[in-house]
Structure formats: structure tokens, C-alpha cells
Amino acid sequence: MLAASIGTGTLSLEARVVAAGGTTETVLERRLALVAEAVSERYTEILTSAIEVPGGGRLSFRVNLDQAPRGLLDGSARLVEMICELTLRLTPVKCRFALIPSEMGKPQEASAEFDVAFEEATQQRLFLAVHGFNILDDRSLTGVFAGIGVLLWGWTERQAQFVRALLREGVVEVLEGPEPAMRFLPERKRREIAASFKVSPSVVTECLQAAKVKRFRYEVWAAADMLRRVLQ
């Protein structure tokens, strides 16, 4: 098992496609590459390098949360949002994630640890499995991400598009100050979303209510805070 150093914010993650959404293998790999490129550009502050697409319906990346502009809490929030954005952009393709602590040079070197995490995730039908901390932290983090996964995996492609548009600027913002603190970022106006998708505002409102987007925002908050507590 990999040992997590106290205070380290260095983590390795891998995503594996579990439902291709009716796409062919070639189209799927192309879609993964396009999404990886777009998300890498947005989250360059925490990524140690661009998200890799090694083939076989996989994404692989490594992050250093301590290097986020406002420290570990900021990095934790960014990582949670990054995982959500990858999932939203790929919908209806579904991916399962594994997260491990890592001091290693490349995420691929931790393949055995990922296999253990994915085995648990598959057996328990989890959105994301954490492996390599102590068992309490592993299960606490896995559990808090499970709440996010229930929502993300339950959304239609249209719901995912509306949620991305609504939360275009992110979900939470970390505030400057001696103590870690967060606040929710403002949501984009429903009328603007309706205009961009050429639908009525009532369609957007009903779709977002069905998606339980308010609950989603709190799930992201909880996951960011839990991740920071485990790593600090």
C-alpha cells in the first residue's frame, strides 16, 4: 500500500469508462481526448501535467492540491469540481474514478493500487473509490463522493448540459484569510441559460429541479471540506 505523507496534497487519479453511451470505441477515445484537453486547460493550477488518455477507455492524471492559489482547501474544491466537470462533459458516457495518495513520478506506476480501488468500486457500484489512506479516511472520502455520483450518474445529457451552464464559474469559492473558509458562487441566471439553449426558462427550471442541483452544490461543498481534512 502507498503511504500518504502528512500534509501532502499530491494525489493520483484514474477514470475508467463503465458505460460508453452507445458510442464506438474510436468515437469514445476521441471524445475522451477532447474532454481531457478542455478540462486540463481549466484546471492547470492543480494538475502536475495534462490529463493523459492512455487508451482502453481510461483517463489518468496527477494533482498537487497545495499549489492552488489559496492553498489546500482551494485545491480540494478545485479537484472535486474537476471530477464533476469531467463527468458532466462526458455524459452520457459514464466513468468510474479511483483516487490514491501518491509521491510517485507518474500515475501509471501506481497501477496495482488503482486495481485495488477499482475492484472495490466495481463490487460496491461506487462512483469513486479512495485507497491508500487509513481505512476510516478511505471510506469517509469514498462515501462523500458517492453522494455526488448518485446525482451525476442519474442525469440525462440535457440535465448535465444545464448544470454545467448554471455552474459555469464553479460551485464554491475559497476566501482569503487566516482560517479556511468557503462560500457558494452565484448561479448563472436561468433566463441566460434558456436563451443559449433556445428553450423557455420554465424548461430550464424544471430540468434543474429534477436534477436536484441545490443538493449537488452541498455535496460538492462537503467533499471539498472532507478531502481537505484528510490531507491536512
Instruction: Give the long-range contacts of residues 102-106, CB within 8 A, separation 24 or more.
Output: 102/2, 102/10, 102/11, 102/12, 102/62, 102/132, 103/2, 103/5, 103/8, 103/10, 104/2, 104/12, 106/62
Helices (H), the chain: 25-42, 72-90, 111-124, 135-154, 157-166, 190-197, 201-211, 213-231
Query: Chunked in runs of 10, what are the mean pLDDT values of the chain (232 residues)?
Result: 52 96 94 98 97 96 94 97 98 97 60 90 97 94 98 97 96 90 96 97 97 98 97 92
Could you tell me the CATH superfamily of domain 10-162+213-231? Reverse transcriptase/Diguanylate cyclase domain (3.30.70.270)
- pLDDT at residue 105, as a whole number: 45
Short-list 189, 199, 1, 18, CA closest to 102: 1
Give residue limits of the domains in the chain: 10-162+213-231
Contact present, 46 and 68 (Cβ < 8 Å): yes
- pLDDT at residue 108, as a whole number: 55
- pLDDT at residue 106, as a whole number: 52
- pLDDT at residue 104, as a whole number: 47
* C-alpha cell, 29: 477515445
- pLDDT at residue 18, as a whole number: 97
- pLDDT at residue 187, as a whole number: 96
- pLDDT at residue 4, as a whole number: 40
- pLDDT at residue 70, as a whole number: 93
